[in-house]
Amino acid sequence: MASPRWTQPAEAGAAANVYYRPMQRDSGAPLYEFFAGGGLARLGLEPDFACAFANDIEPAKAAAYRAAFSDGDVRLGDIWKLNAADLPGQAALAWASFPCQDLSLAGARRGLAAPRSGAFWGFHRLIEKLKQESRAPDVLALENVTGLLSSHGGADFTALVHALDDLGYRVGALEIDAALFTPQSRPRLFIVAARNAPLHLTASGPIEPFHSAALRGVVARLPETLRKRFVWWRIPAPPKRNTRLADLLDDDDAVAWQSEEQTARLLALMSPLQRTRLEALRETGKREVGAVFRRIRIEQGKRVQRAEARFDGLAGCLRTPTGGSSRQLLVFVDGEGTRSRLISPREAARLMGVPEHYPLPASQTQALHLVGDAVCVPVVRWLSQHLLAPLAGAAAARKTA
């Protein structure tokens, strides 16, 4: 199979945008990639895994996938319309970043029974069919928002664990924040299920920073049989991140700035406390960059739009743009001067650990939608190196023993 068009990170360490020499993809174990989007999970999984099948329902994302990979033959369509016969051979890993709209804190949270997030059951059906043909993947990896832990009081998480357990997998989960790798606050839940749980890849209990209080709480409420089989996967903490938001931004003369009037209107949306903090930054005389979202808050019983900024060196969690208020803005404080602008698609891609020569869609909206609805590449790389690839290797060793 052909090698990728760009190089992959040899180690997802402190600097998320450092890439090394390319690896030949034919060295990887077979991968099925569901809800593939623009292939950012694949970027993180290569070269440990080589994609044998990819699927997504959105034409724009499928087009981006094909543009990004020289062998990017992605099957366009609803996962419910796929059959086991569509999947070639037997994969070592099946990856599924199933839709989060109904589980996210920003969504209606209707749970796994809803049309979008209910797509999980389409994935489950395929794995069940493959099991009947004795070619189910040895390892499954599912990614979603952390809201899955609390969706319907934890009932959706329990249903998911139960469904995978019924297929014969040992199930565990990790909560990983992209901020460990890139300057973006983006906690996500990764559910990893494997035929076996080798002792060297498991811990006797929760470990920091990957098993949060919310995860520990929902696991404690699992039915006893599921709780006893639940796995606390063991992976090492990454090196300390050495990049800040400002390090990944475009040059000032290469971007479009908002007018003074637009910046003034943005600052006027800040709360008195936020404006006080902004004034304190101005007084330092230093150049500071903050990430801003516009949100609706309830104040004194009324809905009020507020601009909320953070100056801790991190961007807020990237979103899929559905309107003006969902676009993340940047505020630059440089002495007495203050400027603002929208974050660019390429800057958003950098915050996701995407290499510079990954071909983003020409449309800003489509590019931001693709990136904001994806996985952080260095997070997937770390998970692949330290858990998914070792699990797949252990499964291969058992089969050849």
Lookup: tokens for 217: 């709480």
- Percent of the chain at pLDDT above 90? 75
What is the tens place of the pLDDT at every residue in 247-257?
999 999 999 99
| pLDDT exceeds 70 at position 307 | yes
| pLDDT exceeds 90 at position 398 | no
| pLDDT for residue 176 | 98
Number of Cβ within 10 Å of residue 76's Cβ equals 15
- Domains, the chain, with CATH or none: 25-241+369-400 (3.40.50.150), 251-343 (no CATH)
* DSSP class per residue in 176-232: EEGGGTSSB--EEEEEEEES---GGGEESS--TTTS-HHHHHHHHTS-HHHHHH-BE
Average pLDDT over residues 281-296: 91
- Binned at pLDDT 50, 70 and 90, residue 320 comes out as confident
**Does pTM top 0.85 for this prediction?**
yes
Average pLDDT over residues 305-312: 93
Spatial neighbors of 295 by CB under 8 A, at least 6 apart, are 305, 306, 308, 325
- Mean pLDDT is highest, among 87-101, 219-233, 320-334, for 219-233
CA pseudo-torsion sign 379, 16, 73, 188 = positive
| pLDDT exceeds 70 at position 66 | yes
- Binned at pLDDT 50, 70 and 90, residue 296 comes out as confident
Angle, CA of 141, 146 and 150, to the nearest 5°: 115
Q: Which amino acid is at 245?
A: L
Closest CA to 371 of 352, 398, 390: 352
Angle, CA of 103, 106 and 110, to the nearest 5°: 35
Give CA–CA dist 323/254, Å, rounded: 24
* DSSP class per residue in 346-388: HHHHHHTT--TTS---SSHHHHHHHHHTS--HHHHHHHIIIII
| pLDDT for residue 154 | 92
Identify the H or E element spanning 62.
Answer: helix 59-68
| pLDDT exceeds 50 at position 5 | no
Give CA–CA dist 319/312, Å, rounded: 19
Main-chain dihedrals φ then ψ at residue 62, nearest 5 degrees: -60, -40
- Binned at pLDDT 50, 70 and 90, residue 9 comes out as very low
Average pLDDT, the chain: 88
| pLDDT exceeds 50 at position 107 | no
Average pLDDT over residues 139-152: 94
| pLDDT for residue 101 | 57
| pLDDT exceeds 70 at position 72 | yes
| pLDDT exceeds 50 at position 19 | no
| pLDDT exceeds 70 at position 103 | no
